[in-house]
Amino acid sequence: MMGLRPSPYFTGQSTYYAEELVVRDHQDTANPFHWAIVRLNLHRADNYSPALPWVLRLQADGTPANTFCRCVDDLRTMGSSEEDCWQVGHRLATGFAYLGLQVALRKIT
């Protein structure tokens, strides 16, 4: 029964653990989640741009790093090309399936 145990907390916690296991080492260049540089875009900096996010992860060549965001039960992949987005979605789907989590591929876009 809901309310007797902190089940939403445990669900969120296990989901974040699963995401961490799927992403793994960001320094591995074969990893689709690879990033080499973190650029901070803070308000009082000389090169501040409101068009950029506050924290930007970049690959070694200067392109934005591939990533994903979770919206309730949907995963949205972000990458510099369609192939990069496919690699991120594939890595997420296979990693979650390996961990025993249900993956609806139609929801990974």
In whole angstroms, give the CA distance from residue 53 to residue 57.
Answer: 10
**With a cut of 70, which residues of the chain have pLDDT below it?**
1-6, 105-109
In whole angstroms, give the CA distance from residue 35 to residue 107.
Answer: 25
pLDDT in tens, 47-78: 999 998 999 999 999 899 999 988 777 788 89
pLDDT at 51: 92
pLDDT at 101: 83
Report domain extents, the chain: 18-107
